[in-house]
Structure 1
Amino acid sequence: MSKPTERRSLTDDAPDRVRVGVAELAVASGDTRLTTSGLGSCVGVAVADPAAGIAGLAHVMLPDATDDDRAKPAKSVELGVERLLDAVETEGGDPDAVEAKIAGGSQMFDFSGVSEGVGERNVERTREALADRGVSVVAEDVGGGHGRSLELVPETWTLRVTSAHRGVEDL
Protein backbone atom coordinates (compact mmCIF):
# COMPACT_ATOMS: atom_id res chain seq x y z
CA MET A 1 0.00 0.00 0.00
CA SER A 2 1.43 3.28 -0.97
CA LYS A 3 1.04 6.42 1.05
CA PRO A 4 1.75 9.82 -0.38
CA THR A 5 5.15 11.15 0.44
CA GLU A 6 5.73 14.74 1.47
CA ARG A 7 6.27 16.33 -1.93
CA ARG A 8 5.62 19.88 -2.96
CA SER A 9 5.28 21.19 -6.48
CA LEU A 10 7.07 24.28 -7.69
CA THR A 11 4.19 26.46 -6.53
CA ASP A 12 3.59 26.25 -2.80
CA ASP A 13 -0.20 26.40 -3.14
CA ALA A 14 -0.49 23.57 -5.67
CA PRO A 15 -1.80 20.31 -4.16
CA ASP A 16 0.20 17.11 -4.22
CA ARG A 17 -0.84 14.37 -6.66
CA VAL A 18 -0.37 10.66 -6.14
CA ARG A 19 -0.83 8.46 -9.18
CA VAL A 20 -2.52 5.12 -8.51
CA GLY A 21 -1.52 2.59 -11.17
CA VAL A 22 -3.33 -0.53 -12.29
CA ALA A 23 -3.74 -2.97 -9.38
CA GLU A 24 -2.47 -0.36 -6.89
CA LEU A 25 -4.01 1.71 -4.11
CA ALA A 26 -3.18 4.79 -2.07
CA VAL A 27 -4.60 6.73 0.88
CA ALA A 28 -4.36 10.47 1.52
CA SER A 29 -5.88 13.36 3.41
CA GLY A 30 -6.30 17.10 2.90
CA ASP A 31 -5.97 18.50 -0.58
CA THR A 32 -3.67 15.73 -1.86
CA ARG A 33 -5.18 14.37 -5.06
CA LEU A 34 -5.24 10.65 -5.81
CA THR A 35 -5.47 10.02 -9.56
CA THR A 36 -5.81 7.08 -11.88
CA SER A 37 -6.33 6.83 -15.61
CA GLY A 38 -6.96 4.15 -18.14
CA LEU A 39 -10.07 2.74 -16.47
CA GLY A 40 -11.74 0.55 -19.06
CA SER A 41 -13.06 -2.68 -17.61
CA CYS A 42 -11.16 -1.92 -14.38
CA VAL A 43 -12.99 -0.24 -11.50
CA GLY A 44 -11.83 2.72 -9.48
CA VAL A 45 -12.93 2.22 -5.88
CA ALA A 46 -12.88 5.37 -3.75
CA VAL A 47 -13.60 5.10 -0.04
CA ALA A 48 -13.58 7.79 2.62
CA ASP A 49 -14.37 8.73 6.15
CA PRO A 50 -15.68 12.17 5.16
CA ALA A 51 -15.65 13.58 8.71
CA ALA A 52 -11.98 12.65 9.16
CA GLY A 53 -11.03 13.87 5.67
CA ILE A 54 -9.26 10.59 4.91
CA ALA A 55 -9.84 8.82 1.60
CA GLY A 56 -8.33 6.08 -0.50
CA LEU A 57 -8.43 5.01 -4.12
CA ALA A 58 -7.86 1.56 -5.61
CA HIS A 59 -7.60 0.68 -9.31
CA VAL A 60 -8.92 -2.90 -9.27
CA MET A 61 -8.33 -5.03 -12.32
CA LEU A 62 -10.00 -8.44 -12.03
CA PRO A 63 -13.28 -9.66 -10.51
CA ASP A 64 -11.74 -12.81 -9.01
CA ALA A 65 -8.55 -13.53 -7.12
CA THR A 66 -5.56 -15.06 -8.89
CA ASP A 67 -2.47 -16.88 -7.66
CA ASP A 68 -0.29 -13.77 -7.96
CA ASP A 69 -2.56 -11.30 -6.11
CA ARG A 70 0.07 -10.82 -3.40
CA ALA A 71 2.35 -8.99 -5.85
CA LYS A 72 -0.16 -6.19 -6.48
CA PRO A 73 -2.35 -4.96 -3.60
CA ALA A 74 -5.47 -4.24 -5.70
CA LYS A 75 -5.26 -6.74 -8.53
CA SER A 76 -8.53 -8.44 -7.62
CA VAL A 77 -11.68 -6.80 -6.29
CA GLU A 78 -11.91 -8.79 -3.05
CA LEU A 79 -8.34 -8.20 -1.87
CA GLY A 80 -8.24 -4.66 -3.26
CA VAL A 81 -11.33 -3.60 -1.32
CA GLU A 82 -10.11 -5.33 1.85
CA ARG A 83 -6.66 -3.74 1.66
CA LEU A 84 -8.07 -0.30 0.79
CA LEU A 85 -10.43 -0.31 3.77
CA ASP A 86 -7.62 -1.51 6.06
CA ALA A 87 -5.36 1.29 4.80
CA VAL A 88 -8.00 3.97 5.41
CA GLU A 89 -8.52 2.66 8.95
CA THR A 90 -4.76 2.56 9.57
CA GLU A 91 -4.57 6.25 8.61
CA GLY A 92 -7.28 7.14 11.14
CA GLY A 93 -10.55 6.57 9.30
CA ASP A 94 -13.48 5.21 11.29
CA PRO A 95 -14.57 1.90 9.65
CA ASP A 96 -18.17 2.58 10.72
CA ALA A 97 -18.20 5.96 8.94
CA VAL A 98 -16.64 4.87 5.63
CA GLU A 99 -18.63 5.19 2.41
CA ALA A 100 -17.71 4.48 -1.21
CA LYS A 101 -17.92 5.84 -4.74
CA ILE A 102 -17.10 3.67 -7.76
CA ALA A 103 -16.40 4.31 -11.44
CA GLY A 104 -15.37 2.25 -14.46
CA GLY A 105 -16.38 -1.25 -15.40
CA SER A 106 -16.90 -0.52 -19.08
CA GLN A 107 -17.30 -3.11 -21.78
CA MET A 108 -14.42 -2.04 -23.97
CA PHE A 109 -14.59 -4.88 -26.49
CA ASP A 110 -17.40 -6.89 -28.04
CA PHE A 111 -16.86 -10.56 -27.28
CA SER A 112 -19.63 -12.40 -29.10
CA GLY A 113 -21.02 -15.29 -27.11
CA VAL A 114 -19.84 -13.95 -23.76
CA SER A 115 -22.90 -13.04 -21.71
CA GLU A 116 -21.16 -10.93 -19.06
CA GLY A 117 -17.97 -8.95 -19.62
CA VAL A 118 -15.11 -8.38 -17.20
CA GLY A 119 -16.22 -4.81 -16.56
CA GLU A 120 -19.72 -5.83 -15.52
CA ARG A 121 -18.34 -8.58 -13.27
CA ASN A 122 -15.85 -6.11 -11.74
CA VAL A 123 -18.68 -3.72 -10.87
CA GLU A 124 -20.88 -6.46 -9.39
CA ARG A 125 -18.02 -7.95 -7.32
CA THR A 126 -17.07 -4.47 -6.10
CA ARG A 127 -20.61 -3.78 -4.91
CA GLU A 128 -20.68 -7.18 -3.17
CA ALA A 129 -17.27 -6.74 -1.50
CA LEU A 130 -18.25 -3.32 -0.15
CA ALA A 131 -21.69 -4.52 1.01
CA ASP A 132 -20.09 -7.52 2.78
CA ARG A 133 -18.09 -5.01 4.83
CA GLY A 134 -21.06 -2.74 5.53
CA VAL A 135 -19.87 0.05 3.23
CA SER A 136 -22.55 1.93 1.27
CA VAL A 137 -21.95 3.02 -2.32
CA VAL A 138 -23.15 6.64 -2.33
CA ALA A 139 -22.34 7.46 -5.98
CA GLU A 140 -21.23 5.68 -9.11
CA ASP A 141 -20.45 6.12 -12.80
CA VAL A 142 -20.15 2.60 -14.21
CA GLY A 143 -20.67 0.62 -17.39
CA GLY A 144 -20.87 1.88 -20.91
CA GLY A 145 -18.23 1.45 -23.55
CA HIS A 146 -15.83 4.28 -22.74
CA GLY A 147 -12.72 4.75 -20.64
CA ARG A 148 -12.43 7.04 -17.65
CA SER A 149 -9.85 8.89 -15.57
CA LEU A 150 -10.37 9.71 -11.89
CA GLU A 151 -9.23 12.35 -9.44
CA LEU A 152 -10.11 12.00 -5.75
CA VAL A 153 -9.84 14.92 -3.31
CA PRO A 154 -10.04 13.64 0.29
CA GLU A 155 -10.79 16.97 2.01
CA THR A 156 -13.98 17.49 -0.05
CA TRP A 157 -14.75 13.79 -0.71
CA THR A 158 -15.07 14.63 -4.41
CA LEU A 159 -14.44 12.00 -7.06
CA ARG A 160 -14.01 13.69 -10.44
CA VAL A 161 -14.70 11.35 -13.37
CA THR A 162 -13.44 12.42 -16.79
CA SER A 163 -14.25 10.65 -20.05
CA ALA A 164 -14.07 11.62 -23.71
CA HIS A 165 -17.71 10.63 -24.21
CA ARG A 166 -19.31 12.26 -21.17
CA GLY A 167 -16.94 15.07 -20.20
CA VAL A 168 -16.34 15.78 -16.52
CA GLU A 169 -18.65 14.77 -13.69
CA ASP A 170 -18.10 15.22 -9.95
CA LEU A 171 -19.46 12.44 -7.74
Structure 2
Amino acid sequence: MKPLALPQPSPSEPDPPVITVGLGELAAAAAPARLVTYGLGSCVGLCLYDAVQRVGGLAHIFLPSGEKEREGQPALYANTGVERLVQAVVALGGERRRLQAKMVGGARLFAHSDTLNVGLRNVEAVQAELRRLEIPLAGREVGGSRGRSLLFDLSDGRIQITSGGREIGWL
Protein backbone atom coordinates (compact mmCIF):
# COMPACT_ATOMS: atom_id res chain seq x y z
CA MET A 1 0.00 0.00 0.00
CA LYS A 2 1.30 3.44 -0.89
CA PRO A 3 2.09 5.81 1.99
CA LEU A 4 -0.31 8.64 2.68
CA ALA A 5 0.49 11.94 1.04
CA LEU A 6 1.44 13.99 4.06
CA PRO A 7 0.77 17.74 3.86
CA GLN A 8 4.10 19.55 3.69
CA PRO A 9 5.02 22.27 6.20
CA SER A 10 6.31 25.61 5.00
CA PRO A 11 10.11 25.76 4.49
CA SER A 12 10.56 27.75 7.72
CA GLU A 13 8.79 25.15 9.90
CA PRO A 14 10.35 21.85 10.97
CA ASP A 15 8.54 18.69 9.90
CA PRO A 16 6.02 17.68 12.56
CA PRO A 17 6.62 14.17 13.89
CA VAL A 18 4.62 11.33 12.34
CA ILE A 19 3.90 8.39 14.65
CA THR A 20 2.92 5.10 13.02
CA VAL A 21 0.42 2.94 14.91
CA GLY A 22 0.45 -0.76 14.04
CA LEU A 23 -2.12 -3.49 14.47
CA GLY A 24 -3.27 -3.72 18.08
CA GLU A 25 -1.22 -0.69 19.06
CA LEU A 26 -2.17 2.75 20.29
CA ALA A 27 -0.38 6.07 20.58
CA ALA A 28 -1.19 9.45 22.09
CA ALA A 29 0.55 12.73 21.35
CA ALA A 30 0.14 16.50 21.24
CA ALA A 31 0.12 18.92 18.31
CA PRO A 32 1.92 19.30 15.97
CA ALA A 33 2.37 15.51 15.83
CA ARG A 34 0.44 13.39 13.36
CA LEU A 35 -0.65 9.81 13.91
CA VAL A 36 -0.95 7.37 11.02
CA THR A 37 -2.14 3.79 10.57
CA TYR A 38 -2.25 1.69 7.43
CA GLY A 39 -4.29 -1.25 6.22
CA LEU A 40 -7.57 -0.87 8.08
CA GLY A 41 -9.63 -3.68 6.55
CA SER A 42 -12.05 -5.09 9.11
CA CYS A 43 -10.00 -3.33 11.81
CA VAL A 44 -11.13 0.01 13.21
CA GLY A 45 -8.90 3.05 13.60
CA LEU A 46 -10.29 4.98 16.57
CA CYS A 47 -9.19 8.59 17.04
CA LEU A 48 -9.84 10.60 20.21
CA TYR A 49 -9.22 14.35 20.34
CA ASP A 50 -9.34 17.18 22.88
CA ALA A 51 -9.53 20.32 20.72
CA VAL A 52 -8.73 22.70 23.60
CA GLN A 53 -5.49 20.99 24.63
CA ARG A 54 -4.80 19.78 21.05
CA VAL A 55 -3.94 16.30 22.24
CA GLY A 56 -5.26 13.05 20.88
CA GLY A 57 -4.69 9.41 20.28
CA LEU A 58 -5.16 6.63 17.78
CA ALA A 59 -5.87 2.94 18.37
CA HIS A 60 -5.74 0.24 15.65
CA ILE A 61 -8.38 -2.19 16.94
CA PHE A 62 -8.31 -5.73 15.51
CA LEU A 63 -11.20 -7.62 17.17
CA PRO A 64 -14.33 -6.74 19.16
CA SER A 65 -13.37 -8.53 22.36
CA GLY A 66 -10.85 -10.70 24.10
CA GLU A 67 -10.21 -11.93 27.60
CA LYS A 68 -6.89 -10.22 28.19
CA GLU A 69 -4.50 -7.83 26.50
CA ARG A 70 -1.46 -9.07 24.65
CA GLU A 71 1.85 -7.55 25.60
CA GLY A 72 2.70 -4.74 23.20
CA GLN A 73 -0.84 -4.72 21.76
CA PRO A 74 -3.02 -2.77 24.22
CA ALA A 75 -5.59 -1.96 21.52
CA LEU A 76 -5.98 -5.43 20.02
CA TYR A 77 -9.54 -5.68 21.37
CA ALA A 78 -12.25 -3.00 21.50
CA ASN A 79 -13.40 -4.07 24.96
CA THR A 80 -10.02 -3.09 26.45
CA GLY A 81 -8.41 -0.85 23.84
CA VAL A 82 -10.93 2.00 23.86
CA GLU A 83 -10.50 2.64 27.57
CA ARG A 84 -6.70 2.32 27.31
CA LEU A 85 -6.74 4.97 24.56
CA VAL A 86 -8.81 7.30 26.76
CA GLN A 87 -6.30 6.83 29.59
CA ALA A 88 -3.37 7.61 27.26
CA VAL A 89 -4.94 10.86 26.01
CA VAL A 90 -5.92 11.97 29.52
CA ALA A 91 -2.35 11.26 30.72
CA LEU A 92 -1.14 13.86 28.18
CA GLY A 93 -3.49 16.53 29.55
CA GLY A 94 -6.67 15.82 27.62
CA GLU A 95 -9.91 16.18 29.56
CA ARG A 96 -12.23 13.23 29.34
CA ARG A 97 -15.34 15.44 29.17
CA ARG A 98 -13.96 17.20 26.07
CA LEU A 99 -12.94 14.12 24.11
CA GLN A 100 -14.52 13.58 20.71
CA ALA A 101 -14.21 10.31 18.80
CA LYS A 102 -13.92 9.53 15.11
CA MET A 103 -13.50 6.10 13.58
CA VAL A 104 -12.43 4.65 10.26
CA GLY A 105 -12.47 1.08 8.92
CA GLY A 106 -14.70 -1.84 9.75
CA ALA A 107 -14.89 -3.09 6.16
CA ARG A 108 -16.56 -6.35 5.24
CA LEU A 109 -13.79 -8.31 3.59
CA PHE A 110 -15.57 -11.66 3.17
CA ALA A 111 -18.82 -11.01 1.30
CA HIS A 112 -19.89 -14.67 1.32
CA SER A 113 -20.51 -14.94 5.07
CA ASP A 114 -22.50 -12.80 7.47
CA THR A 115 -20.98 -14.64 10.44
CA LEU A 116 -17.49 -13.49 9.44
CA ASN A 117 -18.44 -9.81 9.26
CA VAL A 118 -15.76 -8.89 11.78
CA GLY A 119 -15.74 -5.31 10.48
CA LEU A 120 -19.34 -4.69 11.53
CA ARG A 121 -18.74 -6.39 14.88
CA ASN A 122 -15.67 -4.19 15.45
CA VAL A 123 -17.65 -1.02 14.66
CA GLU A 124 -20.47 -2.06 16.98
CA ALA A 125 -18.05 -2.95 19.79
CA VAL A 126 -16.20 0.38 19.53
CA GLN A 127 -19.51 2.29 19.51
CA ALA A 128 -20.69 0.37 22.58
CA GLU A 129 -17.49 1.22 24.45
CA LEU A 130 -17.78 4.90 23.48
CA ARG A 131 -21.38 4.96 24.76
CA ARG A 132 -20.33 3.25 27.99
CA LEU A 133 -17.57 5.82 28.49
CA GLU A 134 -19.89 8.70 27.43
CA ILE A 135 -17.60 9.87 24.62
CA PRO A 136 -19.49 11.32 21.64
CA LEU A 137 -18.82 9.98 18.15
CA ALA A 138 -18.21 13.05 15.99
CA GLY A 139 -17.59 11.28 12.69
CA ARG A 140 -17.06 7.96 10.99
CA GLU A 141 -16.09 6.40 7.68
CA VAL A 142 -16.90 2.72 8.15
CA GLY A 143 -18.20 -0.35 6.39
CA GLY A 144 -18.06 -1.07 2.70
CA SER A 145 -15.60 -3.51 1.18
CA ARG A 146 -12.42 -1.46 0.78
CA GLY A 147 -9.44 -1.13 3.05
CA ARG A 148 -8.44 2.29 4.31
CA SER A 149 -5.55 4.13 5.90
CA LEU A 150 -5.73 7.30 7.97
CA LEU A 151 -3.61 10.27 8.95
CA PHE A 152 -4.72 12.12 12.10
CA ASP A 153 -3.40 15.69 12.39
CA LEU A 154 -3.34 16.78 16.03
CA SER A 155 -2.97 20.45 15.06
CA ASP A 156 -6.61 20.63 14.02
CA GLY A 157 -8.14 17.21 14.70
CA ARG A 158 -8.75 16.45 11.02
CA ILE A 159 -8.35 12.95 9.63
CA GLN A 160 -7.32 12.27 6.05
CA ILE A 161 -8.63 8.93 4.76
CA THR A 162 -7.07 7.09 1.83
CA SER A 163 -7.78 3.84 0.03
CA GLY A 164 -5.44 2.28 -2.49
CA GLY A 165 -3.12 5.27 -2.18
CA ARG A 166 -5.86 7.76 -3.15
CA GLU A 167 -7.54 10.28 -0.89
CA ILE A 168 -11.18 9.39 -0.38
CA GLY A 169 -12.19 11.94 2.22
CA TRP A 170 -11.69 13.81 5.47
CA LEU A 171 -13.32 13.64 8.88
Q: TM-score range by the shorter chain?
A: 0.7 to 0.9
| Equivalent residue, structure 2, for 1:57 | 58
Report percent identity of matched pairs. 38
Deviation per CA, 1:113-153: give whole Å up to 9, x if none: x3461000000000010110000000000000000001011
Aligned residues: 159
Query: CA shift at 1:24, angstroms?
Result: 0.1
Q: Supply the AA of the counterpart residue of 2:49.
A: A
Q: Which residue pairs with 1:76 in the alignment?
A: 77
Unmatched 5+ stretches in structure 1: 1-10
- Which structure 2 segments of 5+ residues have no match? 1-10
User: Does residue 39 of structure 1 match 2:40?
Assistant: yes
Report the alpha carbon displacement of residue 14 of structure 1 after superposing the two structures with TM.
1.3
Per the alignment, residue 97 of structure 2 pairs with 96
Within 5 A, what are the aligned runs for 1:11-50? 13-50=14-51
Deviation readout 1:10-32 (Å, 9 max, x if unpaired): x8621111100000000111121
CA distance in 1, matches of 2:142, 2:100: 17
Look up the match of 2:139.
139
Q: Aligned AA for 1:121?
A: R
Deviation readout 1:44-87 (Å, 9 max, x if unpaired): 000011111001000000011144x2321000001110100000
Query: For residues 166 and 123 of structure 1, what CA distance do their matches in structure 2 show?
Result: 23
**CA 1:116/1:165 → structure 2, altered by over 3 Å: closer, same or farther?**
farther
Amino acid at match of 2:156: T
Q: 1-side partners of 2:70 and 2:116: how far apart?
A: 26
So what's the TM-score if we normalise by structure 2?
Answer: 0.87
Corresponding position of 1:4: none
Inter-partner Cα distance in structure 1 for 2:95 and 2:154: 14
Counterpart of 1:8 in structure 2 is none
CA contact (8 A) 2:24 2:60 kept: yes
What is the CA RMSD across the aligned residues, in angstroms? Answer: 1.7
Q: TM-score, normalised to structure 1's length? A: 0.87
